[in-house]
Structure 1
Amino acid sequence: MEQQAAGQTVPGSVTIRPPFDPEIEPILAALESFPTLTSESLATFRKLVSGPPPGVDPIDFTVGGAVRVEERQVPGPEGAPDITLVILRPSAGASGLPGIYHTHGGGMVACNRFTGVDQFLPYVAEGKAAIVSVEYRLAPEHPDPAPVEDCYAGLLWTANHADELGIDAQRLLIAGISAGGGLAAGVALLARDRGFPTLSHQLLLCPMLDDRLETHSSRMLDGEGAWDRNDNLFGWNALLGSRRGGPDVSPYAAPARATDLSGLPRTYLECGSADGLRDETLTYAARLSQAGVSVDLHLWGGGYHGFEALAPHAAISRACLAARDEFMRRAIGPDGTCRT
């Protein structure tokens, strides 16, 4: 297979894509200031995604005082630096809460431990869950296996300190979007194969699972959408270097490579039909189900990458977020009705 340097275009012609949902398509114009990812543009890209857009108020992670925010430095993988976790718990205090372990998105190359956490804050503010979100090392400065091993190290610490954190170690789920979804899937595989901890659920939201870029959807966006094939190629090359697309890629780095998906926790997957990560999401869902895993799959017609965050008030986004919320509330509910 031909290897590509970071920033080069994917070989082959662009394939046909479904139309974008007309209500959310105009939002894409606001993303034109975001450069296509290259080694030269990475620093600019990181600055653009490190905080709220101009004119948008920062997120109140305390939710008006209902949530206690704490940061901890905890041991990283053996021989590696410590990692930072942000821990969000109900200010009123509680014990035996479900734990949401969060791995942020950003194409393996950007963003931080606060990115995307806001989607889970309501459950903490309502006293129904606690969140631990990990700051993992980013590629290309820290290529595979640094990101996934950092994420696993944070999960290990969380499980070992569950009582201290007020978390029920038997009700620990992992969640991530985009690159964070891929890392969540990789960590779930690591936890299964290393025998600890046991996860109750995994939420893989438009997950980045396959480095090979051989699917129809992985080639259908070129200079359009919120994450096109060139951005995707850059992220995978940053993570894997010359190994990308070749035979020596770990399933923990690219979970689509895993040959055995049995024994994984109940899985929620979602993706838009006009997202370049669509086909790897659908294939992973089918393979999980064939391996005996209980799967909830949602494909949103006309959705592009991250549409529900970029256009949260659109009808398609409200439907997506409602489905996700319904699953989450069952997953963290007192009787664990979504456990199996």
Structure 2
Amino acid sequence: MCTVRGVTSTHDVSRHLDQELVEAERRQPFVSFTDPLRARRNFRRAVSLSRALRGPSPGEGNTKVEDTEFTAPGDGRKISVRIYTPVATAPLGTQEKQPLPVLLYMHGGAFVAGDLDTEHDRCLRFCRDAGCAVVSIDYRRPPEHPFPAPLEDCYSVLCRVAEVAESRGWDGRRIAVGGSSAGGNLAAGLALMARDRSGPRIALQLLLYPALDDRLTSESFRRFPRASGWDVEDSPLMWRHYLGDTPAAPVYAAPARCDDFHGVAPAYVLVAEVDALRDEGIDYACRMMRDGVPVELHCFAKAFHGFDLAVPQAALTRHALADQAAALKAAFGRPSRPAPARTGG
């Protein structure tokens, strides 16, 4: 499914938005990324506002949530993660326990902001609706830790998840990676890195309005300079923070610079119509398809960047989240092997 409707004005974008998004668009707190510390505070405030609009988190009652750490290979660095596990509702002993597929999730926040709480509700929903474990990664953030630190954290967690899968009751051959905005960049970079390093096989890359191209030259970038959810003036700042002293962006940092997608994991790509990042997401999806990668591309008409986080109660959000969960379920398919029987008291 791919639906795109034209927008003719770069000024009053609210008249092009879904009616349920308009009021929320006007209430969105301003988050500038000039000062990363202030951006982190304001970003948390925006997340709190969204949570207040939504109410109780979906899936809280039937999901186990565990904050823990994984150890990175080599230097032994600790990486904080939050693990979501569905709680079985069937009576004990009535069905064979199957290994759970796993989604590695990277939060958004222009690389510099966001934390494990940013997309807590989305992770709860994926756990419940896709029937999978979710490992949300608290990767290191720039400017204190520029590229490649955030991506290397994510790759370390990917490898660790594959290693401990059997002991945790996970299916190491059904691992997906996903993220929104900057997190979508990390998920795309992770898929490229896993291919090139012959790392764990990835079943799906779930890319939600991803930031992929540091060159900032797309038509939508010029067309929507003040669209809600993202101000294009922050884009050069975001990339400067992320790239640090890197002289030229490598493909793992800016996946849109990749020119060979053969062998990359299948993808689900979601973009929003009224979003400066729209066209780079569409172009990325099309170029993956040209190299034979199975891709499902969704462009949500009348939506802005991050709409499904900012307006959780909207019908468009419910539609988008249901699509994302369905894509995960389809990619995971059937269990690749039964879980080992557990005995003892």
Aligned to 2:325: 325
Aligned to 1:264: 264
TM-aligned CA distance change 1:184 to 1:148, over 3 Å:
same
Higher deviation after alignment, 81-90 or 177-186: 81-90
1:192 counterpart (195, 201, 208):
195
Higher deviation after alignment, 15-24 or 101-110: 15-24
2:150 counterpart (131, 147, 150):
147
Matched, 1:180 2:180: no
Higher deviation after alignment, 108-117 or 282-291: 108-117
2:138 counterpart (135, 138, 141):
135
Aligned to 1:21: 18
| Structural RMSD (CA) | 2.7
Gaps (5+ residues) in structure 1? 1-13
Q: CA deviation at 1:83?
A: 0.7
The aligned amino acid for 2:146 is: P
Q: CA deviation at 1:312?
A: 3.3
Q: Secondary structure at the match of 1:89?
A: strand
2:27 counterpart (30, 51, 54):
30
Contact map agreement 2:10 2:226 (CA 8 A) in 1:
no
Q: Percent identity?
A: 35
TM-aligned CA distance change 1:135 to 1:222, over 3 Å:
same
Q: TM-score, normalized by length of structure 2?
A: 0.83
Aligned to 2:343: none
Q: What is the 5 A alignment of 1:105-120?
A: 105-120=108-123
Q: For residues 76 and 219 of structure 2, what CA distance do their matches in structure 1 show?
A: 38
Q: Secondary structure at the match of 1:273?
A: strand
TM-aligned CA distance change 1:321 to 1:42, over 3 Å:
closer
Q: TM-score, normalized by length of structure 1?
A: 0.84
TM-aligned CA distance change 1:17 to 1:54, over 3 Å:
closer
Gaps (5+ residues) in structure 2? 1-8, 337-345
Matched, 1:205 2:205: no
Aligned to 2:342: none
Q: For residues 206 and 215 of structure 2, what CA distance do their matches in structure 1 show?
A: 22
Q: For residues 40 and 324 of structure 2, what CA distance do their matches in structure 1 show?
A: 32
TM-aligned CA distance change 1:55 to 1:156, over 3 Å:
same
1:237 counterpart (225, 237, 240):
240
Aligned to 2:60: 63
Aligned to 2:252: 252
Aligned to 1:72: 68
Length, aligned pairs only:
318
Q: For residues 80 and 42 of structure 1, what CA distance do their matches in structure 2 show?
A: 30
Contact map agreement 1:251 1:257 (CA 8 A) in 2:
yes
Q: For residues 214 and 77 of structure 1, what CA distance do their matches in structure 2 show?
A: 38
Q: For residues 317 and 124 of structure 1, what CA distance do their matches in structure 2 show?
A: 17
Q: For residues 261 and 54 of structure 2, what CA distance do their matches in structure 1 show?
A: 42
TM-aligned CA distance change 1:102 to 1:303, over 3 Å:
same
Contact map agreement 2:203 2:332 (CA 8 A) in 1:
no
Q: For residues 316 and 53 of structure 2, what CA distance do their matches in structure 1 show?
A: 23
Deviations along 1:258-295, whole A, 9 cap, x unmatched?
12111011110011111111011011001100110000
TM-aligned CA distance change 1:166 to 1:139, over 3 Å:
same
Q: What is the 5 A alignment of 1:162-173?
A: 162-173=165-176
Contact map agreement 1:73 1:84 (CA 8 A) in 2:
yes
1:97 counterpart (91, 95, 100):
100
Q: CA deviation at 1:211?
A: 0.9
Q: Secondary structure at the match of 2:109?
A: coil
Higher normalized contact order (CA 8 Å, seq sep 6+, divided by chain length): 2
Q: For residues 318 and 173 of structure 2, what CA distance do their matches in structure 1 show?
A: 31
Contact map agreement 1:20 1:304 (CA 8 A) in 2:
yes
Aligned to 2:306: 306
Q: CA deviation at 1:242?
A: 5.5
Q: For residues 230 and 52 of structure 2, what CA distance do their matches in structure 1 show?
A: 23
Aligned to 1:227: 230
